[in-house]
Amino acid sequence: MAFQISHKKSVSARELDEAVDACTRAYVGELASNSMVGGDESLKDPIFRAMIRAGELAGQVYLATDDDSGKVVAVAVWYPPGTALFNSEEQRALGFDHFYKNLLPDTKAFWDTTYVPVVDEFLAEGVDDSFYLNLIATDPDFQKRGIATALLKTVHNKFVGTDAKPMFAHCAANEPNARFYESCGYSVAGKMYMEAPTGNYPVIVLTK
């Protein structure tokens, strides 16, 4: 399989739909995203859509496209140092506000009192100034083909041979994913456990 990685400063409606579809398929039953939607799989489309659109505005969106079909099969959303996901009204207006309104009260409470403040405090201890990977997903039909590795290396390689040496960071929500990032040169920088109504899970910070 051949594929192309591109940095998309403007994501078309078709590309957005295909990227969101890759995310929802990749994250079915996944504990961290389950906690974000209160276990309602139908809400994963709007939260991933909001994350990609916010990244288009204030971060960096990278898409992997299958050469044969032209379909988007994977996506990564990065935030450079000094920026962060949903940290402005403009970002939140691109879908997050509408998503949040549709959450059940207990899930809203989880976002407000646990998920956001706990993760923010945890990350502030060591990765506040990092080049942070907020989202990465590959359509399950295209996994195990090196696409996620290529998405990571595309950003890493931008700084090879330059004076800029940012720290790259990401949070994994399970041990197999953490091992994948370690295979890409990341090291575990911290670990905590998130207590969520839909099921507890680890939050493993990895840096490179």
Task: Tally Cβ neighbours within 10 Å of residue 58.
Answer: 18
Distance CA 29, CA 129 (A): 31
Evaluated on CA atoms 9, 13, 14, 20, the torsion sign reads positive
Domains of the chain: 3-147 (3.40.630.30)
Q: In what order do the strands lie in the sheet with 72-79?
A: 3-7, 60-66, 72-79, 131-138, 168-172, 201-207, 187-194
Q: Identify the pLDDT of residue 164.
A: 67
Q: pLDDT per residue over 101-128, tens digit each?
A: 999 999 999 999 999 999 888 888 767 7
The pLDDT assigned to 27 comes to 97
**1 against 3, higher pLDDT:** 3
Global pTM value: 0.95
User: Scanning the structure block, which residue is given the tokens 């939260």?
Assistant: 47
Per-residue confidence at 159, pLDDT binned at 50, 70, 90? confident
**Which H/E stretch holds residue 192?**
strand 187-194
